[in-house]
């Protein structure tokens, strides 16, 4: 496990270096002065500009400039937003928890819906229920996210009035942000109406999380179905049948656990797809997350925010991917070997 951990940490460091190199290169590819693009100080006086050139080693070669840029990132200096002139690091710390909250709730929904349906389809292999579930999965995967989001708002918010269409919490509630994860902050607060606030936050997250979860849920259906079909065809399952175990005993005692191990490895891969969908959904539902902020930065040509936002989101996705690998390796010892852990 130690070698597996070292491999993953070295891969993380190498990938982050590549990402920072890409982010650094964008400063030269965007229009304007590279130092201004990296620092975001568009109103710098000649004195401040000279200080910035010195801080980013603008008169040195490319490697020294990259090292200076890397030092700023390691120290938490991501520059200023060109549009608001506020530190990007504070913007990221304020907005990223909202994206994490939405993504995690959507991931849980996708797994809770997709994996059981996939198992049912595999158990009812080549029967009517199997074909129906696969057809629904294909239909759900084909629906464009922005169209589904607008349709959900039209039906559940405007027509039926069941769920709110925008935001994280009603303006009636005042919750002090401690962790940035709204549900945790509500539970930590001393507000006498925190349970009403918790219910209100739940109602606000249902629609955007459901829209984000649809496409990953359809992928989990197919993954779970393929994994369970493969497990049910193995020799130890046939041996269990020969011993006289019932179908329920075989499924719940032997098949589900082994099928789940195969699915867990794909969770990290699906998380990147899920965050991409969440960025579009945040715009539709006015969700105050980093995805919406990043898309607005693209419209405003806020080059510093674009570089830093891409870097932070990529880092976040990669950390989730590594954590999933650790969880998979803990459940499956074969994954820690040289062949599988590379």
Residues shown for the chain: 342
Contact yes or no for 79/303 (Cβ under 8 A): no
Assess whether pLDDT exceeds 50 at residue 13. Answer: yes
Name the residue with tokens 């294909």.
138
126-130, 143-147, 171-175, 205-209: which has the highest mean pLDDT? 205-209
Instruction: Output the pLDDT for position 154.
Output: 93
Mean pLDDT for 185-197 is: 86
Q: How far is CA 309 from the centre of its chain?
A: 13
pTM for the whole structure:
0.86
Assess whether pLDDT exceeds 70 at residue 340. Answer: no
Instruction: Output the pLDDT for position 209.
Output: 93
Residue from 38, 33, 11 nearest 23 by CA: 38
Cα-based distances in Å from 211 to 144, 181, 192, 201, 205: 10, 20, 32, 16, 10
Q: How far is CA 51 from the centre of its chain?
A: 37
Angle ∠(9,13,15) on CA atoms, nearest 5: 115
Collapsing DSSP states into helix, strand and coil, what is residue 337?
Answer: coil
Work out the pLDDT band at 336, boundaries 50, 70, 90: low
DSSP state of 163: S
Percent over 90 (pLDDT), the chain: 16
In this structure, what is the dihedral angle of CA atoms 198, 204, 209, 210, given to the nearest 10 degrees? Answer: 110
Residue from 103, 102, 140, 150 nearest 284 by CA: 150
Instruction: Output the pLDDT for position 246.
Output: 83
Instruction: Output the pLDDT for position 202.
Output: 93
DSSP state of 143: S
Instruction: Output the pLDDT for position 342.
Output: 45
User: Tens digits of per-residue pLDDT, 179-190?
Assistant: 888 888 888 888
Work out the pLDDT band at 335, boundaries 50, 70, 90: low
Assess whether pLDDT exceeds 60 at residue 162. Answer: yes
HEC letters along 279-310: HHHHHHCCCCCHHHHHHHHHHCCCHHHHHHHH
Kindly give, in sequence order, each residue whose CB lies less than 8 Å from that of residue 331, ignoring residues fewer than 6 positions away. Answer: 261, 264
Structure tokens at 105: 């709730």
Instruction: Output the pLDDT for position 262.
Output: 77
Instruction: Output the pLDDT for position 208.
Output: 93
User: Tens digits of per-residue pLDDT, 241-294?
Assistant: 888 888 888 888 888 888 888 788 777 777 777 888 888 899 999 898 888 888
Work out the pLDDT band at 337, boundaries 50, 70, 90: low
Instruction: Output the pLDDT for position 108.
Output: 92
- Looking at every residue in the chain, the average pLDDT score rounds to 86
Contact yes or no for 248/289 (Cβ under 8 A): no
Work out the pLDDT band at 155, boundaries 50, 70, 90: very high
Assess whether pLDDT exceeds 60 at residue 143. Answer: yes
Task: Look up the CATH architecture of domain 92-336.
Answer: Orthogonal Bundle (1.10)
> What's phi and psi for 80, nearest 5 deg?
-105, 150
Q: How far apart are the first and last CA of the chain?
A: 12
Which of 71-80, 146-155, 280-289, 332-341 bottoms out in mean pLDDT, i.e. has the lowest? 332-341
């Amino acid at each position: 496990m130690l070698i597996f951990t070292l491999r993953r940490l070295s891969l993380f460091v190498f990938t982050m270096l590549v990402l920072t190199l890409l982010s650094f290169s964008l400063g030269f590819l965007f229009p304007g002065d590279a130092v201004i693009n990296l620092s975001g100080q568009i109103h710098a006086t000649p004195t401040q500009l000279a200080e910035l050139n010195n801080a980013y080693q603008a008169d040195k070669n490319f490697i020294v400039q990259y090292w200076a840029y890397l030092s700023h990132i390691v120290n938490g200096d991501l520059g200023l937003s060109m549009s608001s002139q506020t530190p990007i690091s504070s913007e990221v710390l304020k907005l990223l928890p909202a994206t994490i909250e939405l993504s995690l709730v959507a991931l849980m929904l996708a797994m809770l819906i997709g994996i059981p349906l996939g198992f049912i389809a595999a158990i009812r292999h080549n029967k009517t229920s199997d074909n129906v579930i696969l057809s629904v999965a294909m239909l759900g995967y084909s629906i464009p996210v922005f169209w589904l989001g607008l349709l959900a708002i039209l039906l559940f918010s405007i027509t039926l009035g069941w769920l709110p269409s925008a935001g994280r919490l009603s303006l009636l509630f005042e919750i002090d942000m401690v962790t940035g994860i709204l549900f945790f902050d509500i539970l930590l607060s001393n507000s006498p109406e925190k349970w009403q606030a918790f219910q209100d936050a739940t109602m606000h997250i249902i629609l955007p999380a459901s829209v984000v979860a649809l496409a990953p849920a359809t992928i989990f259906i197919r993954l779970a179905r393929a994994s369970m079909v493969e497990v049910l065809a193995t020799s130890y399952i046939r041996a269990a049948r020969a011993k006289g175990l019932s179908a329920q005993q075989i499924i719940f005692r032997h098949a589900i656990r082994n099928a789940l191990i195969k699915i867990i490895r794909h969770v990290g891969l699906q998380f990147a797809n899920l965050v991409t969908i969440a960025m579009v959904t945040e715009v539709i539902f006015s969700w105050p997350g980093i995805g919406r902020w990043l898309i607005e930065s693209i419209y405003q040509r806020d080059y510093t925010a674009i570089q830093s936002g891409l870097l932070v989101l990529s880092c976040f996705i990669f950390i989730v991917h590594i954590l999933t690998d650790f969880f998979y390796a803990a459940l499956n010892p074969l994954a820690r070997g040289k062949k599988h852990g590379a």
